[in-house]
Amino acid sequence: MVQDLSTLTAFIDGEPHRFETGDTLLNFIDRHKGRGFVPTLCDAPQLEPYGACRVCSVEVALQADGPRRVVASCHTPIAPGMHIYTESQKVRRLRKNIVELVLTDHPLDCLTCEVSGNCELQTVAAKVGIRGVRYPAGANHLDRAKDRSHPYMTSELSKCINCSRCVRACDEIQGQHVLSMHGRGFNAKIIKGLDQSFADSECVSCGACAQACPTSAISDVFFSKSIEATKKTRTVCTYCGVGCNLNVATKGNEVLSIQAPVDAEVNHAHTCLKGRFAFKFYNHKDRLRKPLIRQSDGSFKESTWDEAYDHIVANLTRIKNEHGGNAVAGISSARCTNEENYLMQKFIRHVMGTNNIDCCARVCHSPTAWGMQKSFGTGAATNSYEDIEHTRCVMVIGANPTEGHPVTGARLKQHIMKGTPLIVIDPRKIELVPYAKHHLQLRPGTNVALLNMFARCILDAGLVKTEFVRKRCENWEEFENGLKALDLAELEKITGVAVETVRAAAIEYASAEAAMSFHGLGVTEHEQGAKTVMLISNIAMMTGNIGRPGVGVNPLRGQNNVQGAADMGCQPHQGAGYFEMNDLDVQKRYTDFYGTPAPTEPGWKIPQMFDAAIEGKLKALWLMGEDVVQTDPDAHHVRHAMESLDFLVVQEIFMTETAKYAHVILPASSFLEKSGTFTNAERRVQRVNATVKPLEGTKPDGQIMCEILQRFGFPQADYTPDGVLAEIAKIVPFFKGATWENLGDQGLQWPIKEGGIDTQIMHQEQFARGKGHFHYFDWKESTELKTNGAEFPFILTTGRILEHYNCGTMTRRTGNSEIVVQDYLSLNPADAQRKSIRTGDRVRLSSARGEVELEARVTDEVKPGILYTTFHFPEAMVNNVTGQGCDADTMCPEYKVIAADVEFVSAGKPKKKRMMEMV
């Protein structure tokens, strides 16, 4: 039905304007007149309307000359034909009175304070025409002590105007509920936790409260400096795959502070503490600033860029001539841009002449890419973050979103707190578990057994969407027959989860109008990782949860650009755009495009590269931004591989554990100093814009790769982000419509068609491969589970925490290292009692590969027999104990199942509160 446009019209001070369904008066006025046209105090665009301060009051009438009444515009819905008067004498007087009363209980010097350019109260006071306050100053909270207990968060609550924006930000955005309004009337005040300091409270330092506060009563340690900013640049966070947009305030070449853009579709004025605060690594004194060349005595000597390039060209040419291109390999970086990854694989394939190119997707989501390609035809998230608002059931499998993907985790939490049922499938009690309706706390390494049970329960309950399966999928019979043959009692024993518990969750998922699954490395980093991904895909297909809003299979990608690194061809079997390198037509296509022959032999995956180095087949390795010694499993083996190489080039920003083995180190620039694109976990290609110039002596990785291509005589233009993106768009079909300009501020989700038409939901009419393919697999006990016995009776599983990122080279050089100072080992109270271990004690963690020492946390977050730790600190070097088991299809390492033991070493006291929360 065509709607009569006149029904969508209202008037602002006599002018007709069109409104949108659901508008409040304030939304409507902001859109047509600009934010600030009507003054506000308790309102913020990222928060729900509140209607407390009444500063946004306007007069309204249902007809032009009808009776008027005064309403708060922020929470009053608009009606057709409504007349809004924003500047009547009545509302001007009302606003002025309100602001004047607010100011009586506020430090009066704020009105004239010159450094408070971030103070909205000052702006509002000026707008309503206040130059002084007629009443005696109140003293209700002017004496509140400042809180400087936290490395990032501060409070000076004498400036507080009790607008509750901080409380609402903590509740509505992060969902942490740390802040609250305590007391009534004149005694009302904001408190943290049980009236604690920031450091002692449960604050996760996301900074949403500080960004929401209109007076900097709650602020962050960087924000006050942003008043000096001469430039603000929008870019994308370098840490996780959520891909939060950031507004970076700079002065000259100094980054002053970071805020979250309110209009960002990805993160809606939100970040975690890494994106907002953990940026000080960019000019840390430890940054590499000169190329380094290893000397014959083993020491490094500083060199010029020319000398370093000459040395590289001479050595790689020698090795290629003596041993062939296949004696050279490259490992690219999910931390680098699409353009840089693209150039890296181009160099390895079309200059070195080998398919020996891989990236860290190998050690995280390669099973997702492989498994989803087999099921759907595309190895990427089927839906968008936006779909969270439309789903009726959330299933989180082997992921810990509030720690690993914090902004998406908070968004999920918000949706779940509004009543959407949550299913968590995880061996640990992750932070989301208290919000979950179903927690299937399975034994590590039994995902396939559990998901087979899950699918069988859907089948038994008659909840298969047969029409969807018949029309859109193939090979259902094989899957159905496999499910029918399962022995559920046996699977119950294997997984440690009762059939009835699984059945209740399966029925919840299958009967929801729209169910959305999210998975992480707890799915992929197993010997049956890719098979688990295909099973998750099966479950989505059998319930029709594909191709519409609020459904789908959505991998939570770990690193900022791990999706993009694989899209750009940084994997041995597929080139840029996921074309199979063993296909003759593909080889011809690349040969024609680049003007040099495409390699024909299969390349090595990362674990195969290490083995080949030790066997003497791989002579030279080029690492762009990867610390494989600290982050890859079985660190002894990785070190041995690094030592075995004739020539190792490392392109890095810090001297990492891996860089210590290099023959040449090239000092690269950080994300704040470069331009290009990152692709986030929802396939959104977003512009990364340089906020400052590269630190003196360093170069962006894209420039380094272009200069190296040129040094080898390849006709490569100098680096420009738009130039390389234009080249990518010519060879990668799903980037065809992407240009630097049309990516804009919000980016575009691939596949991007000509004209910049992007794709929020994939597989809507048909799957990328035509029909969705069902696969059936039996559960298989992994090698580590088999060795789990008398010598190594525990199962160790590893992961990440909120405050640190992977090898921690960046976060350990920021205030985050004051919040979490080391890796910890979690163990169950029953095991702790048996082993006489208490929280804070030093313990020895051992496996068949080696042993490390850690501080213990005793917690029921893990079941008896299970241990958990992170791998962020080189001092602990947890990967000395992880093993060589890997996914059978992709060689993704099995970080999640390690047969291990733990022993008491010495008594100690816990160092930091944050890690004691679950004790």
Q: Can you give the binding site for ligand SF4, defined by CB under 6 A?
A: 237, 239-240, 242-244, 267, 271-272, 274-275, 406-407
In 461-572, alpha helices (H): 466-472, 476-484, 488-495, 499-511, 521-524, 529-542, 562-567
Shortest Cβ distance from residue 272 to ligand SF4 (Å)? 3
Rounded Cα–Cα distance for residues 54 and 66 (Å): 23
Nearer to ligand SF4, 122 or 267 (CB): 267
Nearer to ligand SF4, 275 or 520 (CB): 275
Shortest Cβ distance from residue 276 to ligand SF4 (Å)? 7
Nearer to ligand SF4, 261 or 885 (CB): 261
Rounded Cα–Cα distance for residues 801 and 798 (Å): 10
Q: What's the gap between Cα 298 and its chain centre?
A: 39
In the block, which residue shows the tokens 């048909």? 766
Residue nearest to ligand SF4 (CB): 275
Rounded Cα–Cα distance for residues 794 and 810 (Å): 32
Nearer to ligand SF4, 671 or 776 (CB): 671
Shortest Cβ distance from residue 271 to ligand SF4 (Å)? 4
Nearer to ligand SF4, 276 or 311 (CB): 276
Shortest Cβ distance from residue 414 to ligand SF4 (Å)? 14
Shortest Cβ distance from residue 220 to ligand SF4 (Å)? 14
CA distances from 174 to 194, 417, 477 (A): 18, 12, 44
Nearer to ligand SF4, 130 or 256 (CB): 256
Q: Find the angle CA(419)-CA(424)-CA(426) to the nearest 5 degrees.
A: 160
Rg (CA), the chain: 29
Nearer to ligand SF4, 166 or 240 (CB): 240
Nearest to 335 by CA among 565, 539, 489, 46: 565
Q: What is the three-class DSSP state of 652?
A: strand
φ/ψ region of 187 (left if φ > 0, alpha if ψ in -120 to 50, else beta) reads alpha
Q: Concatenated DSSP letters for 605-648?
A: PHHHHHHHHHHTS--EEEEES--HHHHSSSHHHHHHHHHH-SEE
Nearer to ligand SF4, 243 or 577 (CB): 243
Nearer to ligand SF4, 454 or 671 (CB): 671
Shortest Cβ distance from residue 165 to ligand SF4 (Å)? 20
The side-by-side arrangement of strands in the sheet containing 357-359 is: 300-302, 292-294, 664-667, 647-652, 620-624, 328-332, 357-359
- End-to-end CA gap in the chain: 59
Nearer to ligand SF4, 207 or 599 (CB): 207
Shortest Cβ distance from residue 893 to ligand SF4 (Å)? 23
Shortest Cβ distance from residue 729 to ligand SF4 (Å)? 25
Nearer to ligand SF4, 239 or 309 (CB): 239
Q: Find the angle CA(793)-CA(798)-CA(801) to the nearest 5 degrees.
A: 140
Helix axes 447-460, 529-542, angle to 10 degrees: 10
What is the torsional sign of CA 309, 314, 319, 321? positive
What is the torsional sign of CA 447, 452, 458, 460? negative
Beta strands 393-397 and 794-799 are unpaired
Shortest Cβ distance from residue 237 to ligand SF4 (Å)? 3
Nearer to ligand SF4, 204 or 620 (CB): 204
Shortest Cβ distance from residue 852 to ligand SF4 (Å)? 26
Shortest Cβ distance from residue 912 to ligand SF4 (Å)? 20
Shortest Cβ distance from residue 410 to ligand SF4 (Å)? 8
Structure-block tokens of residue 427: 């061996």
Nearer to ligand SF4, 263 or 903 (CB): 263
Nearer to ligand SF4, 237 or 491 (CB): 237
Nearer to ligand SF4, 519 or 526 (CB): 519
Asked whether the beta carbons of 347 and 709 are under 8 A apart, the reply is yes
Shortest Cβ distance from residue 885 to ligand SF4 (Å)? 29
Shortest Cβ distance from residue 446 to ligand SF4 (Å)? 29
Nearer to ligand SF4, 29 or 173 (CB): 173
Structure-block tokens of residue 93: 């007087």
Shortest Cβ distance from residue 643 to ligand SF4 (Å)? 34
In the block, which residue shows the tokens 């559960």? 779
CA distances from 604 to 105, 331, 333, 608, 622 (A): 68, 10, 16, 5, 14
Rounded Cα–Cα distance for residues 218 and 181 (Å): 14
Shortest Cβ distance from residue 235 to ligand SF4 (Å)? 11
Nearest to 514 by CA among 554, 550, 466, 463: 550
Three-state SS string across 272-323, please? CHHHHHCCHHHHCCCCCCCCEEECCCCCEEECCHHHHHHHHHHHHHHHHHHH
Structure-block tokens of residue 364: 């995280």
117 phi and psi angles, rounded to 5 deg: -60, -10
